Each structure stands twice: as C-alpha cells, then as structure tokens.
C-alpha cells in the first residue's frame, strides 16, 4: 500500500475541507464515529499524528488513547486542530517511511476512512481513490488469519476484478466494488449491510468475521 501518498493526500484534502466548514458543519455528529462530531474526528486524527511522532502510541490505538487525543483538544478550534495536524504531518510521514511493520500503515487507513466518515456526515459523496489498496490491506490480513473451521470465501472487487481468497476453495463468493469492500471490512458497514451484499450461498457464518473493527449498529451510506 502506498501509505505515505494516501496519508498525505487525505490530510491535505481534509485540511482544505476544514477551512470551508461553518460552525454547524463543525459540530455535526459523525455516524461512523458515534461519540464524535466533525471537529472531534479531526482532533483524533491530529492527536494520533502527534502522539505517534512523539512515541506515545504505536498503531493500532486503543479506545482510551483515541479518547485522550480528543479530550486534549477540547479547547481548540477546528482551525487550530487542522494547523497542528498540518505542522506535524511531515514528521509522521518521515517516521512511517522508515518503518516496515504493517502497523505503521494504519494511520493511512485511519485518515482515508475518517475522510469518508466526515464526508458522509456532511452529506457529501465518497472519495474512492485508492479503495483497492485499502481493501487489499485488510483482506490480505484476513486471508492470512482465516480459520479453517469457517466456510471459505472468494472475494472479488467488481470494478477492478481483483480477487482475494479467504480459506481454501470457494464455499461462498462475495462481490462488491473495492470501495464497498474496503468500508465493509473496516467497520463501516453494518452486519445487515454486509449480509445484503452480492453473495453466493448463505453468508451468515462469516458475515461477523469480515469486519476488522466493530461493525456499526446502524447502516452507513458513505
């Protein structure tokens, strides 16, 4: 995955978006992050950037760490948060670029998904660039850890024709766009939405095993 480019481009787009948002938009709740509004979602991303650079956290982060990142910026405006994030991004990219462990790609996933979380909350369409890379990162990890006790699943991205094999064989098949796959396997689609995707066979035994993060209780459209 092109971690540095995905992170940098997402951060730049989000910083530019922040400058255009009025107070109503900044306080809009983000359904994919039900405890946060738009400003707080930015606070998490800025805080993660700063804390990874400082060595306070190593991806993936725990809930108490993300909560601290938001709480530490409770008195900051969105403009101040965006400026802090922009200032610290070069140091994060330098650090991430020096690491080979997969966990250091996680900040790029975080930014890519939170950009779409925010866009969905604000009634904007998705940014689908690099969805194939995001889907591959998570599905590749799932393939390595897929239990032989589960039905095997052949996953295909309908827009790129890329495939992944979860287990040996193809007891089930799942087809969706790379964007929908990336969102589904990273906790941005409800279990009902995942089950309603284009499956062959009965997916009930595996639907709950696909999300790498907890699936939302409500359906998300973006």
CATH number for 156: 3.30.1050.10
**112 and 142 share one domain:** no
Residues 79 and 180 in one domain: no
Q: Are residues 146 and 185 in the same domain?
A: yes
In angstroms, the CA 130 to CA 6 distance is 7
State whether 142 and 45 are in the same domain: no
Given 66, 97, 121, the domain boundary residue is: 121
How far is 6 from 133, CA to CA, in rounded Å? 9
Q: Are residues 91 and 12 in the same domain?
A: yes
Q: Note the pTM of the prediction, 2 decimals.
A: 0.95
In a domain, 37, yes or no: yes
Residue 100 is predicted with a pLDDT of: 86
Residue 148 and residue 85 in one domain: no
Answer for the pair 167, 153: CB distance below 8 angstroms, yes or no.
yes
List the one residue out of 59, 23, 49, 27 whose CA is nearest residue 40.
27
Q: Of 76, 92, 121, which residue sits at a domain end?
A: 121
Interacting residues of 179 by C-beta distance below 8 A, sequence separation 6+:
126, 128, 131, 135, 159
How do the pLDDT tens digits run along the chain, 222 residues long? 999 999 999 999 999 999 999 999 999 999 999 889 999 999 999 999 999 999 999 999 899 999 999 999 999 999 999 999 999 999 999 999 998 899 999 999 999 999 999 999 999 999 999 999 999 999 999 999 999 999 999 999 999 999 999 999 899 999 999 999 999 999 999 999 999 999 999 999 999 999 999 999 999 999
pLDDT at position 67, please?
A: 95
Residues 15 and 112 in one domain: yes
For tokens 């309603």, the residue is 196
Looking at 62, 93, 121, which one is the last position of a domain?
A: 121
Question: Domain range spanning residue 61?
Answer: 3-121
In a domain, 58, yes or no: yes
């Amino acid at each position: 995955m092109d971690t540095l480019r995905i992170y940098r481009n997402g951060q730049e787009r989000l910083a530019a978006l922040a400058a255009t948002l009025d107070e109503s938009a900044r306080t809009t709740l983000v359904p994919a992050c039900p405890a946060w509004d738009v400003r707080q979602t930015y606070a998490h991303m800025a805080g993660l950037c700063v804390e990874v650079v400082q060595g306070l956290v190593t991806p993936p982060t725990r809930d108490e760490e993300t909560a601290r990142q938001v709480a530490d910026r409770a008195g900051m405006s969105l403009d101040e948060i965006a400026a802090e994030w922009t200032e610290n991004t070069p140091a994060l990219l330098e650090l991430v670029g020096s690491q080979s462990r997969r966990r250091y790609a996680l900040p790029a996933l975080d930014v890519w998904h939170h950009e779409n979380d925010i866009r969905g909350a604000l009634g904007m369409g998705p940014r689908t660039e690099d969805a194939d890379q995001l889907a591959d990162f998570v599905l590749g990890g799932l393939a390595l850890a897929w239990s032989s006790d589960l039905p095997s699943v052949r996953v295909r991205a309908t827009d790129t024709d890329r495939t992944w094999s979860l287990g040996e064989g193809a007891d089930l098949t799942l087809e969706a766009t790379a964007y929908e796959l990336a969102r589904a396997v990273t906790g941005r689609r409800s279990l009902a939405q995942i089950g309603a995707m284009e499956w062959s066979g009965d997916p009930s035994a595996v639907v709950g095993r696909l999300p790498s993060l907890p699936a939302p209780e409500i359906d998300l459209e973006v």
